[in-house]
Structure 1
Amino acid sequence: MLFKDQLEFVTQHIKKNKLRVFMTVLAATMGCAFLIVLASVGFGLQDSIRKDILSNEKVTKIQVYGETQFTDEQIKGIEKMEHVETVLETISVNATARSYFEDRDTSSELFVTNMHDFKQVSDKLFEGKYPTKPTEIIVGYNFGQTLLNDADREIIEEKNKKAETEGTYYDGKEEGYKESLVGKEIELSLLPYEADTKESKKMTYTIVGIMKEPSYDWMIDNKVYMSTEQQSALVSNLSAVSDVKEEEIFYSEINIFADTMENVKPILEKLKEKGYSVYSVTEQLEEIDVVFLVLKIGLIFVGTIAVLIASIGIFNTMTMAVTERTREIGVLKAIGASPKLIQRLFLMESTFIGILGTVIAVAISYAISFTANALLPVILKTATGEDAFVSTDITFSLIPWQLVIIASTISIGVAMISGYRPARKATKIDVIQALRQEL
């Protein structure tokens, strides 16, 4: 019996029982679609978290921490390590930076760094340029927002009280200095963290650049960055108002940038061997991948249960098909059809049901995934009243090709297994008894 004839034999019997086959395919479709959609939530959430982390961190970046400032020998040793592209030392000043502009002032963190290296590894500025002179500085995106005068503070206090009565909070974004700060001169003093200390004398700096907007709406970036050439002036100012030792004024953090993502892990291992405290976003991503791998396996397992429930319908349909075609099976055996051929005919029918149900399920799953991703931000905005959800790139459901392959294999495999028992039963039908059966 030619393969073409086998297909025709199967399709003829499917057409005779359209309603029964349709309901069986529908059950298989629902089971497979449930599996894909359920597992897609795990893939979608993982993708969202990975994007969120990578939007704030460069994947080739390694942070190295020290209790005090790193020595030149330590930095040179790190620079000589294989696959290290750039080493940027960022020095945190152990004091609050007080900035004064017109009748406004603000407090912020102060960092000292090599501006040439800082420019090489940093993103493009929101406004302005990188400093080229010792008295030029860069400030965070929200620096102007935090520059407040007495009138602003009174307004913010009133709005905070009103927000508290409504069960919300006010972030103060409507106040502060609203014009461009690029090219403006500010006076900056230092206030040590120790109690009973005075501010240092004020130093004049020119703002030449504004950092990019933070990735999160709730983040307030009003940091101040200046050149390492100002270290001696900072030490002198702090020493005049505080007994803090020079080695306690600065705390270093080294950011190492590997040439490729693949070389981040080898560099991390070498740094740990040398006793450095290190952090890389790749380690966090590995931990997240392990957690979501377990989650996705669990979701696929739960989805597979739905497919197994659908397999009951396939089993019943194929069992009825064997019973209804007993005489046809007898005729096939009488004209020389082998048991393997008869078994193959019924397995082809159950496989066809599985394939058709899977194809429809994949199409439906993609439609549900697209709709869920489109509606989720709107639903969250309606529920919370926050406009930020509309502009946020949240992936609730993601269907990669690997998930389609896994779900299709499970669905079609279960359909074939469901049809195997009835197919075996068909091969054991007695020819004489089958031919005696009334039409």
Structure 2
Amino acid sequence: MQFKDQVDFVRQHIKKNKLRVFMTILAATMGTAFLIVLASVGFGIQDTIRQEMLSNRLITEIDVFSGELDEADVANLKKRDHVKAVVNRQSVGIRQETNLNGFVGEPNLIVSDFGEEAKVGFALKEGRLPENEHEVVVGSHFAAALFDPKKMNTEGEPIAYNGKLLGEQFIYKMGLYEEDELFVDEIPLTIVGIAKEPSKDWLQDVKIYADASVKPKLTEIFNSNVSDVEDVETSDLFYSDVKMYADQLENVKSVSQAMKDEGYSVYSIADELEQMDVFFLALKAGLIFVGTIAILIASIGIFNTMTMAVTERTREIGVMKAIGASPKLIQRLFLMESAWIGVLGTVIAIIISYGVSYVANFLLPIIVASALGEEDLGGMDVTFSIIPWQLILIASAISITVAMISGWRPARKATKIDVIQALRQEL
């Protein structure tokens, strides 16, 4: 029997039992669609978290524990292979206060190397980076954190500063948290740039970014004012935050691993992504396993359908054997029928799954935002379901394999039917 004749044979017998076959295909479709949609949630959540992580920071950034690093160590880090820049942000760790035309604030001053900052794209909304002594860049929310304590609005709150910043000079002072008064020494600083807003709306940048020219003056003021204060060390003035930047994302892991091998404590986004990927790999495997159970339940219907098909076609099988059909041919015909059920159910399930995924990604953010009383989930771009081609291949392989296994036992039964007994059965 040619392959075309085998296909016709299968199609003719499927037509005889349209309703039963339809219900079997429906069960296979539901099981496969359940697997795909369920697992797609794992892929969607992983992609959402990954994009959120990547949008919050530079993907080539490597955090270095700076507890034992000095300026010479930082300079050596810049000479390492595949390192684009090393930014050492030294934050003032004591009490601080600024005064701009009577408006007072308590921002944090950070001393940094703007040459290195420029290499990694220190973004400005207005102005320029510092070029001269005592020039600074302020955060995008610096003005909003300045208040006039002597003037109140109608609600009894201090009035916030709403004037221009570029070119303005303000007074910067320091003090100890243990003391009620600030040091008498003042440093005039001129604003030459305003940093770009953070990528997330809820992040507030009220910092002051200065270059190394201001560091000696800060140290001098600190040392001269804490000499008579007990339990205060001069090393408490600054605390460092050292970040390395690889030249390419592909080199982040190698640079990070090389640092760890030399005894440095480092942490990079590659470590975060690796840990996250391991977690979601286990989660997706669990979701696929749960979805497979649904397909196994649907396989019961395929088994029953194929068993009934063998019983109803006993006489036909006997005739085929009588005219010389081999057991392998008979087995192949029934396996083709069960495979056809699995393939058709899988194709329909894929179409349905993409439809469900699209509707879920459109409606669920709206529903969740409404339940939380927000408009856009706090600015997050949430994807609840993603169906990659790998998931389609896995689901298709599982579905079709289960269908073939379900039809194998009835097909084997068909090959063992006795010809004499089969021919004695009435049509």
Question: Is TM (by shorter chain) over 0.5?
Answer: yes
Matched to 1:392, the amino acid is M
- CA drift of 1:301 comes to 0.8
* TM-score, scaled relative to structure 1: 0.90
Q: Provide the residue aligned with 1:66 in structure 2.
A: 66
Q: Provide the residue aligned with 1:94 in structure 2.
A: 93
5 Å matches for 1:39-58? Answer: 39-58=39-58
Q: Provide the residue aligned with 1:235 in structure 2.
A: 219
Aligned partner (choices 345, 359, 365) of residue 333 of structure 2: 345
CA distance in 1: counterparts of 2:225 and 2:25, whole angstroms = 82
Q: Provide the residue aligned with 2:295 in structure 1.
A: 307
- CA drift of 1:266 comes to 2.7
Matched to 1:227, the amino acid is D
Matched to 2:412, the amino acid is R
- Contact (CA 8 Å) 1:86, 1:258: kept in 2 or not? yes
Q: Provide the residue aligned with 2:75 in structure 1.
A: 76
The unaligned stretches of length 5 or more in structure 2 are none
CA distance in 2: counterparts of 1:64 and 1:325, whole angstroms = 74
CA distance in 2: counterparts of 1:123 and 1:404, whole angstroms = 42
Q: Does 1:372 align with 2:360?
A: yes
SS at match of 1:317: helix
Q: Does 1:434 align with 2:392?
A: no
- CA drift of 1:52 comes to 0.9
Q: Provide the residue aligned with 2:402 in structure 1.
A: 414
Q: Provide the residue aligned with 1:222 in structure 2.
A: 206
Aligned partner (choices 266, 282, 286) of residue 274 of structure 2: 286
- CA drift of 1:392 comes to 2.2
- CA drift of 1:323 comes to 1.1
- CA drift of 1:197 comes to 5.2
CA distance in 2: counterparts of 1:338 and 1:38, whole angstroms = 43
Q: Does 1:186 align with 2:170?
A: yes
Answer with 421-430 or 271-280: which moved more: 271-280
In structure 2, do the counterparts of structure 1 residues 26 and 178 end up closer, same or farther at CA, with 3 Å as the change threshold? farther
Q: Does 1:403 align with 2:366?
A: no
- Contact (CA 8 Å) 1:198, 1:241: kept in 2 or not? no
Aligned partner (choices 264, 286, 305) of residue 276 of structure 1: 264
Q: Provide the residue aligned with 1:103 in structure 2.
A: 102
- CA drift of 1:371 comes to 1.3
CA distance in 2: counterparts of 1:337 and 1:98, whole angstroms = 96
1:170-228 Cα shifts (integer Å, max 9, x gaps): xx9xx744455333332222233444552353322222322232333332221111111
CA distance in 2: counterparts of 1:320 and 1:12, whole angstroms = 16
CA distance in 2: counterparts of 1:156 and 1:66, whole angstroms = 45
Matched to 1:3, the amino acid is F
Q: Provide the residue aligned with 1:23 in structure 2.
A: 23
1:57-100 Cα shifts (integer Å, max 9, x gaps): 222211112236x4343123222222222222211122233222
CA distance in 2: counterparts of 1:65 and 1:152, whole angstroms = 44
- Contact (CA 8 Å) 1:197, 1:241: kept in 2 or not? no
5 Å matches for 1:238-253? Answer: 238-243=222-227, 244-253=232-241
Matched to 1:109, the amino acid is N
CA distance in 1: counterparts of 2:34 and 2:161, whole angstroms = 53
* TM-score, scaled relative to structure 2: 0.92
- Contact (CA 8 Å) 2:56, 2:200: kept in 1 or not? no
SS at match of 1:126: strand
Q: Provide the residue aligned with 1:163 in structure 2.
A: none
Answer with 256-265 or 26-35: which moved more: 256-265
CA distance in 1: counterparts of 2:198 and 2:151, whole angstroms = 23
Matched to 2:266, the amino acid is V
In structure 2, do the counterparts of structure 1 residues 271 and 196 end up closer, same or farther at CA, with 3 Å as the change threshold? farther
- CA drift of 1:123 comes to 4.6
- Contact (CA 8 Å) 1:94, 1:193: kept in 2 or not? no
The unaligned stretches of length 5 or more in structure 1 are 159-171
SS at match of 1:255: strand
RMSD value over aligned CA atoms?
A: 2.3
SS at match of 1:438: coil
In structure 2, do the counterparts of structure 1 residues 48 and 200 end up closer, same or farther at CA, with 3 Å as the change threshold? farther
CA distance in 2: counterparts of 1:22 and 1:3, whole angstroms = 24
- CA drift of 1:114 comes to 0.8
CA distance in 2: counterparts of 1:435 and 1:178, whole angstroms = 99
- CA drift of 1:6 comes to 0.9
- Contact (CA 8 Å) 1:139, 1:223: kept in 2 or not? yes
In structure 2, do the counterparts of structure 1 residues 202 and 380 end up closer, same or farther at CA, with 3 Å as the change threshold? farther
- Contact (CA 8 Å) 2:200, 2:379: kept in 1 or not? no
Q: Provide the residue aligned with 2:254 in structure 1.
A: 266
- Contact (CA 8 Å) 1:200, 1:238: kept in 2 or not? no
- Contact (CA 8 Å) 1:342, 1:426: kept in 2 or not? yes
Q: Provide the residue aligned with 1:329 in structure 2.
A: 317
- Contact (CA 8 Å) 2:85, 2:246: kept in 1 or not? yes
Would you identify which runs of 4 or more consecutive aligned residues in structure 1 move more than 6 Å?
151-158
1:312-353 Cα shifts (integer Å, max 9, x gaps): 111111111111111111121112111111111111111111
Matched to 1:148, the amino acid is F
In structure 2, do the counterparts of structure 1 residues 345 and 157 end up closer, same or farther at CA, with 3 Å as the change threshold? farther
Aligned partner (choices 197, 201, 216) of residue 213 of structure 1: 197
SS at match of 1:208: strand
Q: Provide the residue aligned with 2:188 in structure 1.
A: 204
Matched to 1:239, the amino acid is N
Answer with 117-126 or 104-113: which moved more: 117-126
Q: Provide the residue aligned with 2:7 in structure 1.
A: 7
CA distance in 1: counterparts of 2:322 and 2:133, whole angstroms = 100
CA distance in 1: counterparts of 2:174 and 2:421, whole angstroms = 103
Matched to 2:209, the amino acid is Y
